[in-house]
A and B are shown apart, each in its own frame.
Chain A
Amino acid sequence: MEFLAPSSLAEALEAKAAHPDAVPICGGTDVMVELNFDRRRPDHLLDLTRVPELAEWSVGAHPSDPSGASDASEFVRLGASVTYARVIRELSDRLPGLALAARTVGSPQIRNRGTVGGNLGAASPAGDSHPPLLAGGAEVELSSVRGTRLVPIDDFFTGPKQHAGAPDELITAVLSRATTGPQQFSKVGTRNAMVIAVTSLGLALHPDKGTVGVGIGSAAPTPVRASDAEGFLAAALDETGLWQSRNALPPSVATEFAVKVADAAAPIDDVRGTAAYRKHALTVLARRTLTWAWDDYRGSAA
């Protein structure tokens, strides 16, 4: 096995082009478990922890619209190797849903090492960063010596532990609109720490656009968006003038939203829970996160 330790992004991309089978390693919290247990013996490990460009985040206009002409929103470009601990410390204001999810990952030691880029690279249906990234409508930046492209998060997960990156590409960043409204994340597990989600949900309200984002985890072969639930809730809030009035949410709206969230799931029975339990839990998470988010929204009235 050869250990490649590039010290710039250009070097890293060249190394990946030269060795498409190289296994990238960032925080190592997934990769090292596989190596320690002999589940994987790659010919090349590609260490990304010395690539400074991947460890930065910045805010600005969307790269496709640098003048902000069609969308004046602020976008966060989160480098692939920014750790959960840093997301919590540095981005709880701009990416609150992702920061809430980050707080539930593993343990302090895991959050000090584990990264959002590694979570995307692993592409587990249970990855905790995925529901908030779906809810926020994020895009994944993939780069190679051939260039850089942005893949909508909806198209990124192609199967269980499979993603849209080509063999010569690295995940270089995630691009997500900075929050304009309340965001929530909740997950079900057996204890408060060190838990792979039995099921999880990220919710984002986008009052400026009159839209809603919902992503669910451990509920299907890949993380998925609950599109019908999003559409239903956005329409219900619009028709009843609730975005403007900020009145209490009718319980029937929350209940129907929850049913539609569960309908988006195609869960399985496994050691962590049954499919039926997961569907039930999703209705609970949906109602709960919506209630929290709506209370936030009402409380934040100018």
Chain B
Amino acid sequence: MRITAHVNGEVKQADDVWPGESLLHVLRERMGLPGSKNACEQGECGSCTVYLDGVPVCACLVAAGQAEGREIVTVEGLGTPEDLHPVQQAFLDAGAVQCGFCTPGLIVATHDLLTRDPGPDDAEIREALAGNLCRCTGYVKIIDAVQLAASRQRGEDRP
């Protein structure tokens, strides 16, 4: 089937999509957007987190056909290498990235958290990121990164 969706603000199309394949596969293999990572394909790790109509979801659990006509934002839509989003910059500055496999999902989940709540405490951060697993960094620096991004967004700490 053909899938047409708004991805990172552009209309994108993919042909010959198998209806049972995941949105994650469509994004990575057919639309040239490998930012969202494929790690578990069962909703456990969150490395494939994208916005679907403004709501963070695991792209590995969305059937391609369910994304038809929807609005999708991936990590590529939040910032570019030349112009990082403040959340991305904070992850780098706080040392919250090692292999980086979990990072795209964490960036999207953190972006969503800080949009809803500009001043989360550590417990709220843990709760909001409970669907994102990291195998390398450990969560201390990730929470530091979220706090850093939050304080910068509140204008308390300029990069």
Contact = CB atoms under 8 A, between A and B. Distances in A.
Contact of B131 (A1, A35, A109): A109
Interface in A136-174: none
Contacts of A31: 63
A3 interface: yes
Contacts of A45: 19-20, 63, 65
A223 B7 CA distance: 41
Contacts of A33: 41-43, 61
Contacts of A112: 55-57
A32 B130 contact: no
Interface stretch (A22-30, A204-212, A253-261, A291-299): A22-30
B60 A32 contact: yes
Contacts of A28: 61-63, 66
B63 A36 contact: no
A106 interface: yes
B130 A5 contact: no
Give chain B's interface residue range (CB within 8 Å of chain A).
20 to 34
B61 A5 contact: no
A248 B43 CA distance: 44
Nearest to B132: A107
Contact of A192 (B43, B58, B130): B130
B131 A32 contact: no
A32 B62 contact: yes
A108 interface: yes
Contact of A29 (B1, B18, B43, B132): B43
B57 A35 contact: no
A106 B19 CA distance: 25
B46 A3 contact: no
A194 interface: yes
A29 B128 CA distance: 18
A204 to B, nearest CB: 26
A47 interface: yes
Nearest to A35: B20
Interface string A1-32: 11101000000000000000000010111011
A160 to B, nearest CB: 20
Interface in A36-81: 36-37, 41-42, 45, 47, 49
5 contacts: A3-B64, A5-B65, A36-B42, A108-B56, A112-B56
Interface of A: 1-3, 5, 25, 27-29, 31-33, 35-37, 41-42, 45, 47, 49, 85, 106-110, 112-113, 192-194
